[in-house]
Amino acid sequence: SNNKILVELDESSGVATMKFKSPPVNSLSLDFLTEFCISLEKLENNRACRGVIFTSAIPKIFSSGLDITEMCGKSTEHYAEFWRAVQEMWLRLYGCNMVTIAAVNGSSPAGGCLIALSCDYRIMVDNPKFNIGLNEAQLGIVAPFWFKDTFVNVVGQRIAERSLQLGALHPAPEALKLGLVDELVPEEKLQEKAAAVMAQWLALPDHARQITKSMMRKTVLDRLISHREEDIQHFISFTSKESIQKSLRMYMEMLRKKKS
């Protein structure tokens, strides 16, 4: 399975692009997450690569977040494997030594938002129809502590507290005001802007920047690393509850109905 993410490396600039292309909505399935980790690790091990831009090949959607079908009616073994893959994606991305920029060219709820939050810099298309946020509460589920930590590190305690409790999805202009994204650009300028910001970050010596990044993120990374198995067990018991299964099924039903 290596066709859900298009990876391109420009050897002259040292900048790679990882473009999500998993129709219809770039949901983070087990296959997607596995491919994400392998692709990122390959780039990390490639000395020619110093920065990665994350974007979507699907119009209007960056990523719809975790694949809800992976959390519905599956075995505990499956939940464990899936959750380990979600953790792995975050640990790799949040702890990534390379410069990471999210070029958010569509809606980005929940797990999609987490990917953006885990980057060093976020640029979003200036379109009020594109939403971003950790909307877990709206699904009747709870964002894990490390989603919350990542969010707090970007927007601060107060904004995170309000936004998380409400399960808010913020239209791009509001996301900018909250500091959830760093800047907005017209869609046709997104790639150019991401490349310009990347060049600015890459102008610094890698070593000093990497140590600084690690200093800023280590506490939050270590919190998951030291509680990883507990976090998996927690996910399994939470997800296995009949009330949670019911909430997830109702939410999927709501998505289906909204169409017709």
Catalytic residue among 30, 33, 66, 178: 66
| Structure token digits, residue 35 | 């491919």
Neighbouring C-beta atoms of residue 36, cutoff 10 Å: 22
Active-site hit among 14, 65, 106, 111: 111
Check if the beta carbon of residue 181 is closer than 8 Å to that of residue 107. no
Binding string, 134-153, against ligand CO8, x = CB under 6 A?
-xx--x-xxxx---------
61 contributes a contact to ligand CO8 by CB under 6 A: yes
32 vs 121, which CB is nearer to ligand CO8? 32
Query: What is the side-by-side strand order in the sheet with 106-109?
Result: 60-61, 106-109, 131-133, 170-171
Residue-wise DSSP of 117-143:
HTSSEEEEES-TT-EEE--GGGGT---
Where does residue 246 rank: exposed (0-12), middle (13-18), buried (19+ CB within 10 A)?
Answer: exposed
Identity of the residue, 149 or 209, whose beta carbon is nearer to ligand CO8 in the bound complex = 149
Q: Which residues, 6 or more positions from 12, have their beta carbon under 8 angstroms from its beta carbon?
A: none
> Taking CB under 6 A as the rule, does residue 65 contact ligand CO8?
yes
Regarding 64 and contact with ligand CO8 (CB under 6 A), the answer is: yes
Task: Number of residues interacting with ligand CO8: please give it, by CB under 6 A.
Answer: 28
- Given 14, 43, 93, 136, the catalytic residue: 136
Cα–Cα distances (Å) from 97 to 45, 47, 103, 160, 251, in that order, read 10, 12, 18, 26, 37
Active site residue 135: yes
Kindly tell me which of 41 and 253 has the beta carbon lying closer to ligand CO8.
253
Distances from the Cα of 235 to the Cαs of 64, 71, 112, 140, 149, in angstroms? Answer: 20, 10, 19, 14, 17
Q: What angle do CA 199, 120, 143 make, to 5 degrees?
A: 155
- Is residue 111 annotated as a catalytic residue, yes or no? yes
User: Which is the catalytic residue, given 30, 135, 139, 167?
Assistant: 135
C-beta of 98 vs 175, nearer to ligand CO8: 175
Q: Is 134 part of the annotated catalytic residue set?
A: no
User: Under the criterion CB under 6 A, does residue 67 sit at the interface with ligand CO8?
Assistant: yes
Among 3, 12, 24, 77, binds ligand CO8 (CB under 6 A): 24
Q: Which residues are catalytic?
A: 66, 111, 135-136
Footprint on this chain of ligand CO8 (rule: CB under 6 A): 24-25, 27, 61, 64-69, 107, 109-111, 135-136, 139, 141-144, 235, 238-239, 252, 255-256, 259
